[in-house]
Structure 1
Amino acid sequence: MGAILKKQRPINLDLQTIQLPVSALASILHRVSGVITFVAVGILLWLLGLSLSSPEGFMQAATILSSIVAKFIFWGILTALAYHICGGIRHLLMDFGYIPESLTAGTRSAQVVIGLTLVLSILAGVFLW
């Protein structure tokens, strides 16, 4: 019988103590914003179909979009779309070599994407309200 090897690996199961780098957080948020955008397409297509169905359907869609809850949901959709576009451009720039593959460049580009999305989110909020 061979000797039993004891693996000496650190185990940390407390997820609240794990600090993700900003570039990892940006990557996760890019995936989440993609899912939100995908689901939003269904909602927006439903509203478009409703508004094009008849004059009464248009008024119903306008009434739905005038509520504060619908505006908040629409603001969330616009924010997710803005983040997904900014993150996608970041990934394309990295793929084509315009952003170097280094920790500092990845961190800085992730910070720029998050900051730009915050600005676009505020602008979307001003536009909607």
Structure 2
Amino acid sequence: MNKQSRPVNLQLQTIRFPVNAIASILHRISGVITFFALAILLSLLAKSLGSADGFATVASWFDSFFVRLIIWLIAAVFCYHLVFGIRHMVMDCGYWEELTSATASARICFIVALVLIILMGIIIW
């Protein structure tokens, strides 16, 4: 039996993912984070709607830098997932399927998501 040796790249620093792959991987990760972040947001909502004291407690938590940072990170992940989810739906409709247009749309979506994330940071702070 003749064994053919395949080329093996063991230098991980030389592997470069295309922008479309990075966008797709980050979209999946942001979906998982958004799913678990809903538990945090729903618990805050339940506590704030439970009573007037609960609302005052949740409102006082938002004075903390740490809580604002967590809310901003959740909003950032949601904005990213929303923008790239719209991109994926447009691609599912048959547009932006060529490599050049898909790469361009991924870059544009990164810029739009960054602008939305900065806007959310301004609104939260």
Corresponding residue to 1:11 among 4, 8, 11: 8
Change (3 A) 1:11 1:46: same
User: Hey, what's the Cα distance between the residues in 1 that align with 2:54 and 2:11?
Assistant: 51
C-alpha displacement at 1:81, in angstroms? 0.6
Asked whether 1:58 is paired with 2:69, we answer no
Asked whether 1:33 is paired with 2:30, we answer yes
**3-state SS, counterpart of residue 111 of structure 1:** helix
Give the structure 1 partner of residue 73 of structure 2.
76
**Overall identity of the aligned pairs, in %:** 50
Asked whether 1:85 is paired with 2:74, we answer no
The runs of at least 4 consecutive aligned structure 1 residues that moved more than 3 Å come to: none
AA partner of residue 66 (structure 2):
V
C-alpha displacement at 1:63, in angstroms? 1.5
Normalising by structure 2, what TM-score? 0.94
Give the structure 2 partner of residue 112 of structure 1.
108
Gaps of 5+ in 1: none
Normalising by structure 1, what TM-score? 0.91
**3-state SS, counterpart of residue 62 of structure 2:** helix
User: Hey, what's the Cα distance between the residues in 1 that align with 2:68 and 2:9?
Assistant: 41
Cα RMSD over matched residues? 1.2
User: Hey, what's the Cα distance between the residues in 1 that align with 2:10 and 2:47?
Assistant: 48
User: Hey, what's the Cα distance between the residues in 2 that align with 1:105 and 1:89?
Assistant: 15
**3-state SS, counterpart of residue 9 of structure 2:** coil
Gaps of 5+ in 2: none
User: Hey, what's the Cα distance between the residues in 2 that align with 1:66 and 1:18?
Assistant: 44
- After superposition, residues 89-104 of structure 1 pair within 5 angstroms as 89-99=86-96, 101-104=97-100
User: Hey, what's the Cα distance between the residues in 1 that align with 2:68 and 2:4?
Assistant: 57
1:40-87, CA deviations, whole angstroms, 9 ceiling, x for partnerless residues? 100000000111111111111112222111111111111111111111
C-alpha displacement at 1:106, in angstroms? 1.1
